[in-house]
Amino acid sequence: MSSSFVYASVRTPFGRFNGALADTRTDDLAATALKGLLDRSPGLDPCLVDDVFWGNANGAGEDNRNVGRMAVLLAGMPVSVTATTVNRLCGSSLDAAMMASRMIEVGDAEIAIAGGVESMTRAPWVLPKPSRRFPAGDVTAVSTTLGWRLVNERMPAEWTVSLGECNEQLQEKFSISRERQDEFGARSHRLAAEAWAKGFYDDLVVPVPGADLVQDESIRAGTSLEALAKLKPAFRPDGTITAGNCSPLNDGASAVLLGSASVAETIGRDPVARIAGRGWSALEPQQFGYAPVEAANGALARAGISWEDVGAVELNEAFAVQVIACADAWLRLGLRDAELVNAKGGAIAIGHPLGASGGRVLGTLAARLVESGERWGVAAICIGVGQGLAVVLENVA
């Protein structure tokens, strides 16, 4: 089989829930990222894009079921360009990139685009359909913004607890203190703010038309341990997880251009990274935060390298506790320094619009490898209901 390569990546700034991107439809966010990616490669004829894979965790509203196809049409691409939408919850756009890379490697495509989008602000409420005509009772509208909804009564109760409760259980299992989580939360804001100030994200982010937002809206550059220590637990009265050490609700989109080695001239730019390995794993649903550990281990094994070789890690950072637990496991396996994980900040500061986060971590990882000159990096993501995904990149810039 041939290899697949990352040629370019972009994303929108990530907006806060009910913030600067609240007035932008989900499909318009997707189209913005897709058009921004194509604008970065003006030599590429859009007709030559063999397929588009788009991640999206909700899909119940303005996502319009197949938001990938909506993005293609709204971005002005030829109607002949096909598109599909992928839903693996938080891992949707990383899964989309994995699918696109496989398509290239087996020879079914030369050029593909992967991406993802989420407007958690605009996610609609849903109503269950009645089991009989003209019911007399009331019906409750359920939010589709995050988490379980309309749960099957056959699901064990321990599987359907909130994401926050899942991570309180994780901190109990690994004895990860509130102080350590708060320190990580403050680090995320500090590193994200520094990365923006130094221009790291300038070439990775495209503005959203009509929105007054040029940087990620959730970043708080002055976040201190003292301020975080005053926040009340969010999920248990005596818990350790607060609004300051977990990711917020967000809106945004991301996109990645992938291709074979032979299309550099067609695309009009050289590749920056090779997709060297892919991994996936699953645990009990309530342990989802720890699932990236084995996903990354599997991706490294398929790449033929070990943790000692890795010079950069991007993990989505849904909760500080799950990043710490994963990083601790990887340190035991040979990762040389925990500071290699999310060195440009993570979702606690940047934000976590579910369907877009996989494209963000993959694009950020490729840019980090180019900046540092390190050869190998890992992009990983935890996924609600117990799953994890990971990709190994090799720097070829």
Active site residues: 90, 352, 382
Residue type, 352: H
Buried b (16+ CB within 10 A) or exposed e, 56-86: bbbbebbbbebbbbbbbebbebeeebebebb
Q: Can you spell out the DSSP letters for 77-137?
A: --TT--EEEE-BTBTHHHHHHHHHHHHHHTTS-SEEEEEEEEESSSPPEE-PPPSSSS--S
CA–CA dist 364, 368 (Å, integer): 6
Token readout for 2 is: 């041939």
| 8 A C-beta contact, residue 179 and residue 328 | no
CA dihedral 224→227→229→233, nearest 10 degrees, is: -120
Burial 151-182 (b: 16+ CB within 10 A, else e): eeeeeeeeebbebbbbbbbbbeeeebebebbb
Provide the β-strand partners of residue 246: 319
Q: How many residues does the chain have?
A: 397
Please state, in angstroms and rounded to a whole number, the distance separating the CA atoms of residues 366 and 362. 6
Structural element, H or E, at residue 195: helix 178-197
Residue 153, C-beta contacts closer than 8 angstroms, at least 6 positions apart: none
With residues binned 3-state (H G I as helix, E B as strand, rest as coil), the percentages for the chain, rounded to 5, are 35, 20, 45
Bridge partners for 118 per DSSP: 252
